[in-house]
Amino acid sequence: MDSKDIKEHFQHLLKLLEIEKKEDLEQYKKLMSDSSIEERKNKGICWYPVQLEKSSFDAGARAIIKVSRKQEQAHVFQTGKTVSLFSLAGNNDETSESSKGVINQVKGNEMIITLNEDDIPEWISEGNLGVQLLFDEGAYRELERALTIAMNGEEPQLIKMREILLGNRKASFSKKYEFDIPYLNDSQNEAFKNTLAAEDVAIIHGPPGTGKTTTLVQCIIQDLKENDQVLVTAPSNAAVDLLTDKLVEKGINVLRLGHPARVTDRLLQQTVDYKITKHLRYKELKAIKQQEAQYRDAAAKFKRNFGSDQRRERKMLYVEANKLRKEIRSLSDYISNDIFEKAEVITCTLVGATTQLMRSKRFSTAYIDEAAQALEAATWIPILKADKIVLAGDHQQLPPTIKSVEAAKEGMDKTLFENVIKQKSVDVMLKEQYRMNKDIMNFPSDYFYDGKLIANDEVQDWKIYDEDQPLEFIDTAGTGFQDQVAPESLSTYNKEEAELLQKHLTQYINIVNGSNQLDNIGSIGIITPYKAQVKVLKELVQQMDIPSIVRKKINVNTVDSFQGQERDIIYISLVRSNDDGIIGFLSNARRMNVAMTRARKKLVVIGDSATISRNKFYSKFIDYVNEIGAYRSAFELMYD
């Protein structure tokens, strides 16, 4: 692209971002508009009434509450979502009090929320409490701001980065790094050296199980030998926490930015809020806060009808309180900046890099993990803050989540990672994988990675028991199993296929138990693209005649929920079975790459070959299972 094309590229991204924001807001309004509390409850965006179970403060002195509800009901609440805790006035739908917060955890009928307040609101003990979802517009503002700066900025470094990432300018590499790290394999060392030799842009391409995080951590450690501080980001809190954890294990001073509710418990000690409480000047800050609160409390005690002397005294108290408030802000800023400057690595989400603490900061290097899952607009946020960018990820796995079909069709689901890896020759692919038996690995390797993946010696032949078949495809063609649409959710399910999966898994566990190899099953995942099928499968798992110790190891969920995870055994229910060959979500081969590559020792895929094989991916998969003797008809299970 020339400079004109680059500007048009950013203008197009801004247009798509506006389309996505409108769709997101529209979906939220549809859920919320003109609806009663009861209707919102039925839509899953409100819990009411809730009981206050506990209130406390976290390590960073933020207010935390735990609430519960009596009635089990489907909902959309999840960790990290922004919510409003509210109290209703009497028995009508009018909110009398409310407070914003972020969800720490939702488990069953219990929810833990970190409030955006320093104190527990007094009104929460008065009852009539509820929690409802909020629309978070802040992230869109930051994405638009980043794109606008990236498009119009005239700083030499930004112009250079724009031309390298989007234009015809080549990335530069030095020959400085020729040494190997002994505990990295050949391709990891190649990626390590390529990353450190890069002067502006490098990519670590990490297919499933190839040790991308391990390689990334070694690059960061080496980088810190020459630079005082680096930035490490990712699109999700889970990915940021994983890297933070690995860096802390290596003894690195890491500062984890972000709302404490979005940080796992074990990493709270790395947050600004916690580190403030351990700072040398925290006691001083706390004392000033207490004094300020005393002045305000004293001023607030004056009634409306009072004389001139009392008015002067109240005014004096507020003046003193305001002076202390300025002191508090000044000292808080000093402590936060001191903590920031002493950290070797700053970790945060992409949008989290826009916090006030980060506004004027600049880094020698910004590492962006899971970059193939990040919106391009979000990727520009750390790019604007660094002289060098390292992108890590795999564009053959899940793309970013886009709510607008129009925006996705117009290219919003195309990431900067994907564009750069295809055009710039700045990447090294990691080739040795440490997760899967070779029979599970070979098909995704051939289809997505040009057959370049190799299984590490320790994993290539591992199985649950010696005579086991690591991969099976159970074909339901001809059985008459038909997919159906659940009227309440409009999601697709296939109960007969789910029952077949239940039968196969029960038999398999009994065989393993009979071989005295039950200890070899550390975890089992059951994956399906459809939420309605998840619900059916969860119910069937509870009915299975298997040891309870094994049932506790089974997790049933959608493909997206398993990204970045692995299990000893994976079952995949494809669901779609119809005369028209309609396969919906299944047509996204990248989603199926994620599903299949979660398995370590055993992968069982159940589906209708007559429906799915019209698609190139599944046609080749069925050819593969036939070649290795992993094909099995459902009739064998139904009538044995």
| CA nearest to 339, candidates 271, 264, 287 | 271
Helix, strand, coil tally for the chain in percent (to 5) = 45, 20, 35
pLDDT for 94:
63
Read off the CATH number of the domain in which 409 is found.
3.40.50.300
547 and 618, same domain (yes or no) = yes
Residue 548 lies in a domain: yes
228 and 350, same domain (yes or no) = yes
574 and 607, same domain (yes or no) = yes
pLDDT for 311:
76
Residue 284 lies in a domain: yes
| SS3 letters across 212-228 | HHHHHHHHHHHHCCCCC
| CA nearest to 191, candidates 476, 431, 19 | 431
355 and 220, same domain (yes or no) = yes
Structure pTM?
A: 0.87
Cα angle, residue 344 at apex, residues 216 and 354 outer, rounded to 5°? 85
pLDDT for 613:
95
Residue 90 near residue 84 (C-beta atoms within 8 A): no
The structure tokens listed for 610 are: 């007559």
370 and 391, same domain (yes or no) = yes
Residue 111 lies in a domain: yes
Omega of the bond leading into 182 within 30 degrees of 0 (cis): no
Residue 527 lies in a domain: yes
405 and 499, same domain (yes or no) = no
Which domain, by its residues, includes 290?
278-340
Q: Into how many domains does the chain fold?
A: 4
Residue 386 near residue 365 (C-beta atoms within 8 A): yes
Residue 543 near residue 512 (C-beta atoms within 8 A): no
336 and 356, same domain (yes or no) = no
Residue 260 lies in a domain: no
Of 106, 135, 164, which residue sits at a domain end? Answer: 135
456 and 572, same domain (yes or no) = yes
Residue 15 lies in a domain: no
Of 119, 135, 151, which residue sits at a domain end? Answer: 135
232 and 355, same domain (yes or no) = yes
Of 324, 340, 356, which residue sits at a domain end? Answer: 340
Residue 543 near residue 502 (C-beta atoms within 8 A): yes
The structure tokens listed for 278 are: 């351990």
Residue 543 lies in a domain: yes
pLDDT for 30:
81
The structure tokens listed for 240 are: 């940021």
User: Rounded to whole angstroms, how far apart are CA atoms 636 and 504?
Assistant: 10
pLDDT for 265:
74
User: Rounded to whole angstroms, how far apart are CA atoms 197 and 190?
Assistant: 11
442 and 557, same domain (yes or no) = yes
**Which regions of 58-155 does DSSP assign to beta strands (E)?**
63-68, 82-88, 95-107, 110-115, 129-133
405 and 486, same domain (yes or no) = no
pLDDT for 8:
96
302 and 227, same domain (yes or no) = no
Pairing of strands 484-485, 492-493: antiparallel
Residue 20 lies in a domain: no
Q: How far is CA 105 from CA 64, 239, 264, 550, in A?
A: 11, 17, 10, 25
Tell me which DSSP letter residue 71 carries: S
pLDDT < 70 stretches in the chain: 34, 58-61, 89-95, 260-262, 300, 302-307, 640
